[in-house]
Structure 1
Amino acid sequence: MIKLASSAIAAFLLMGTTVSAHGNITSPPARLPGPAMAQACGQQAVNKVLQDGTIPLENLLPASESCNLFLCRGALFADNPTQLQQFSLGQTINFTAILPIPHEGPANVSIVNTATNSMIGLPLLVFDSYADENLAVLPANNTAFSVTLPEVGESRELEDACSGEENAGNCVLQWFWFGTQAGQTYESCVDFVLV
């Protein structure tokens, strides 16, 4: 019961603070901070993310070299096994983002191998100009968009790295956005395996 209550409080904090923040992915479920991230990045980094679920990377200071903020904003799979999604090659995945404070700049969604923090193939979606604060209304595709995974046989690297439950935590769909004028970086990661 205590574990459930603390999880509910963490979720409430993340949801409640996003209205005054910058942006993140809300669907599919993205990695959240937890004890493994605290061990790697320090409790202060976890507390900051819990206070502001859309905090830019530049507002987090890693506590050690074991913290890689430029991979999923430091969040680790060890804290998120229940968030793991199952996708198929050729599947289209719908995303929802919240952007309470827009900052114009480039954005993309890519498949990232977490072991090497490198992109598998080309980005699945690219925005040359995303979340432009000079627009009266943001385009609908800034907060509701989709990506389609490569078809069978298009990427052997993807199939090898991401197939099956034994590869859980190896692959993420990473939403990456850099607000050029603000000089701020935002990331959200969705863990997945191919089935």
Structure 2
Amino acid sequence: MLSTLLQLASLAALAHGHGYISSPPMRMPGNATTSACGKSVVADIVKDKTSHVEGLPELAAKDAGYHASQCNLWLCRGVQFADNAANVQAYAPGQVVNVKIALTIPHVGSANVSVVDTKTNAIVGQPLLSWPSGYADEKQFYGQTLPANQTDFNVTIPTTLDGKCATAGECVIQWWWYGTGARQTYESCIDFTVAKV
């Protein structure tokens, strides 16, 4: 009985987490995000860095501080660049960047890492990395055989950006993951610039 209660307690502790970028620094909310998205969205993200996107619109709709024209919950979960200007990473075209993911609860699905234009929320070029299926397969995770390249991998900054992403806030590197069984989307963003060549 006691062991069953302990197992349930450990599962409950994990229920708040799924996955997020742990390195380089990901966007986190502050005053600008509160002004755009409301206190409820910010409180949820601060409480749980891995909160899935599908849970946020309902919170936002109930909050008088939510401004749909300023808060795109499907881009970095609405977290604003203004709160993260101190964490902008400076990269060079062709530079290899190591990315680490804290993956706490797996949901098998697809994932990618891409450069995203923050004005259009569109991928620039092709994804830097892509897992069309089999990403974060819980069967592998609980057997302790989740592939290391799903949580610790390198991406190469494109050499074809032609001046795009030279201004801070113009682009992000976004880790995006959709768990098909859970029907939940997780995303984290890294603010960066690329020096013009």
TM class, shorter-chain normalised? 0.7 to 0.9
For 2:3, the equivalent position in structure 1 comes to none
Distance 2:124 2:189 in 1: 14
Conserved? CA contact 1:49–1:55, under 8 Å: yes
With normalisation by structure 2, the TM-score equals: 0.83
1:86 is aligned, of 73, 85, 90, to 90
Conserved? CA contact 1:110–1:124, under 8 Å: yes
**CA shift for structure 1 position 161:** 2.0
Conserved? CA contact 1:18–1:52, under 8 Å: no
- Indicate the SS of the match to 2:35: helix
Amino acid at match of 1:114: T
Distance 2:185 2:162 in 1: 29
For 2:80, the equivalent position in structure 1 comes to 76
2:139 is aligned, of 134, 141, 161, to 134
Distance 2:25 2:54 in 1: 23
Amino acid at match of 1:94: N
- Indicate the SS of the match to 2:163: helix
- Indicate the SS of the match to 1:50: helix
- Indicate the SS of the match to 1:93: strand
- Indicate the SS of the match to 1:70: coil
For 1:160, the equivalent position in structure 2 comes to 163
- Indicate the SS of the match to 1:162: coil
With normalisation by structure 1, the TM-score equals: 0.84
For 1:170, the equivalent position in structure 2 comes to 170
For 1:31, the equivalent position in structure 2 comes to 27
2:46 is aligned, of 46, 50, 59, to 50
**CA shift for structure 1 position 19:** 8.6
**CA shift for structure 1 position 64:** 3.2
What is the alpha-carbon root mean square deviation over aligned residues? 1.5
Distance 1:150 1:40 in 2: 31
* Structure 2 CA distance for partners of 1:180 and 1:19, relative to 1, 3 Å: closer
For 1:96, the equivalent position in structure 2 comes to 100
Conserved? CA contact 2:112–2:175, under 8 Å: yes
**CA shift for structure 1 position 20:** 4.5
Percent identity between matched residues is 49
Distance 1:18 1:42 in 2: 26
**CA shift for structure 1 position 39:** 1.0
Amino acid at match of 2:32: A
**CA shift for structure 1 position 144:** 0.3
Conserved? CA contact 2:16–2:50, under 8 Å: no
Distance 1:18 1:160 in 2: 42
**CA shift for structure 1 position 134:** 1.2
